[in-house]
Chain A
Amino acid sequence: MKPTHLVGLALHSIRRNVGRSILTMLGVVIGVASVVVMVAIGMGAQAEIQARIDNLGTNMIIVTPGTSSRGGVSGGAGSMNRLTVDDAELLRREGQLLSAVTPVIFTRTRILQGGMNWFTTIYGVDTTYEQIRTWPVDSGRWFTAEELRSNRKVCLLGATVAGNLFPEGDPVGQSVRLRDVPFTVVGVLKAKGQTPEGSDQDDVILAPYTTVQTRLSGRQFIAQILASTWGKDDVPAAMEEVKVLMRESHDLSRGEDDDFEVKDQSQLGEAARGTTQVMTMLLSAIASVSLVVGGIGIMNIMLVSVTERTREIGIRRALGARRGDVLAQFLVESVVLSGLGGLVGAVLGVVITAVVGQVTGWATAVTTSSLALALAFSGGVGVFFGWYPARRAAALDVIDALRYQ
């Protein structure tokens, strides 16, 4: 029998029992719809995290102080804080693959401003920070290299800080007191949103690292060095280069472990990404269970159908159908039933996803590949759960089947 005949036959038989067919399909419809929705929510979360990672900066490499085992004593991460401005200087001078480098110093502080009280973090950075983090100003301007060199008390406010300290009016040109030191606000940064882990990047004040070191923190060590490469493809090689330069700068002999860590931007979101991946897989697995339950429903109805149609099978065999023809007929019927359910389920899944996205505001992403996968899966369910009933149909004896009442 031709495949078109088989599909026509399946549709005919499904139409002969519309109500029952719809109820049978329902299991697969729900299964496929829930897989589509769950995957869409998971993929949406992953896409959002990817967007946040991309938003962190451009081809960024991060150097942080690492665990050291000098003298056989292993300290915790960062216990030997040995990053210095000199390290950053060396990377800037020698790093062939690096387009920009900045040291980063953190210090937490309370700000008092016209009765407003705000606790935030001050980042002491170089002017290159703007390029490395892709973080221009929204109003005012970035501080200049000259201001950096001469330890000027200037700063940039993150959008959250600006909004809180200056609910109305432009902060640019105003003065804020950071640890009793008056700083002039030269600019307000563009809002950047959340980190992959979900903390607010705009709750920050940026100032020249020179000023922060001399006026606020007074410490010699720095928290991070950020660098960016010329191109995206340079990142792996540049990380190697940074490691070599850092070992040189720290005077590490062979056999000694690194006392610093070098990561690239994508690694920053790894934990968050891992979590959402696990979540997506878990949700899809739970949803798949309902697809399997739908498949069992199909098997059940197909078995009933084979019994009901024993006589039909006998007639077909008498008229010249081979066992293989009967097998194909019932298998195709089960696949068509399940596939139709999958199709309806996919459409329903897209609709539900849109509604969920609207109502909750979650990022969702229905991808063609997830739809294709859901459809293929429902077809597979049809084959898997249709096989046994189809085998039963094909195994019937012609004479018994013809005589069946």
Chain B
Amino acid sequence: MGTPVIELRQVRRDYAVGEAVVHALRGVDLRIEQGEMVAIMGTSGSGKSTLMNTLGCLDRPSSGTYRLDGVEVQGLDDDARADLRNQKLGFVFQGFNLLPRTTALENVLLPMLYDRRGRFSDPHARALRALERVGLGERTHHVPSELSGGQQQRVAIARALVTDPALLLADEPTGNLDTHTTVEVMALFQELNAQGITIVIVTHEDEVAVYCKRAITLRDGLIERDVAVQGRRAAEDLGAWDRTGHRPQVDHLPEGRPPGEPS
């Protein structure tokens, strides 16, 4: 195996709240390899968002080390982290976070505007290809308000992958979508993952996690459970759903081993 995409060692994140200190992450060790598709789960307040912000270089750990695609993140200043986000990460948010009154194409062009390395010779063509890849080749000049939730999330995914990031980070990407659309979006993620893109999805829904290859559960700022997931095919579920008219039964996640134990 080559360099892991993510390597966290004893990552802690403390928040000072008035006099008290909240330990949002309490020494997380995590390794995610190239080509994985990981769900990060846990109850509210377990530290998912904090972990997500850390992985996304939006926040810095209080202690511990974080390597993203071979780059030491702790110690980087604000500008360097902005550049790193631009080069290595693609974000997909729960609320889609597209710029309003801005066409799908312009939204997808956005991350390439902040490229400082001249990596993209023809951003326009690239953006069109990314939109085609998510099945929106026909909707490039629509603004978000003219698109359905699922379509908006596809635009956001196109925007996240247009720069060929080492890691695609999705924060509750299906939280605002109905079940059918959720499965559609998961089918898209699976397709992209099959093409080699490493994906981390924060979710609290089992029916999202079942389409991932690995599920990590946080509890009180620590990894409580880390299991391999049977690769269920979202595309097949969609086909069955459309054929039969009702939704296929989705099984629960398996009880897994605690982290650190050999499989």
Contacts and interface: CB of A to CB of B under 8 A. Distances in A.
A286 interface: no
Interface in B66-95: 78-79, 82-83, 85-87, 91, 93
A314 B58 CA distance: 10
A322 B111 contact: no
Nearest to B95: A311
B101 interface: yes
Contact of A320 (B97, B98, B101, B111): B111
Contacts of A317: 82
Interface string B95-107: 0011111100000
A323 B101 contact: no
B79 A316 contact: no
A319 B78 contact: no
Contacts of A319: 85-86, 91, 110-111, 114, 159
Interface string A324-345: 1100000000000000000000
Interface in A302-319: 311-312, 314-319
B50 to A, nearest CB: 10
B144 to A, nearest CB: 12
Given A323-B78, A325-B114, A402-B93, A318 B99 contact: no
Contact of A318 (B91, B98, B115): B91
A316 B78 contact: no
Interface in A1-33: 1, 5, 12, 16
Contacts of A1: 113-114
A320 B82 contact: yes
Contacts of B114: 1, 316, 319-322, 325
A314 B85 CA distance: 13
A172 interface: no
Contacts of A324: 79
Given A311-B97, A318-B58, A399-B53, A323 B110 contact: no
A312 B99 contact: yes
A148 to B, nearest CB: 86
B59 interface: yes
Given A1-B113, A399-B53, A399-B58, A322 B99 contact: no
B150 interface: no
Contact of B99 (A315, A320, A325): A315
A348 interface: no
B56 interface: yes
B154 to A, nearest CB: 17
A109 to B, nearest CB: 83
Given A318-B85, A323-B79, 10 more contacts: A1-B114, A5-B113, A315-B97, A316-B114, A317-B82, A319-B114, A320-B115, A322-B79, A322-B82, A325-B82
Interface of B: 53, 56, 58-59, 78-79, 82-83, 85-87, 91, 93, 97-102, 110-111, 113-115, 159
Interface of A: 1, 5, 12, 16, 311-312, 314-325, 398-399, 402
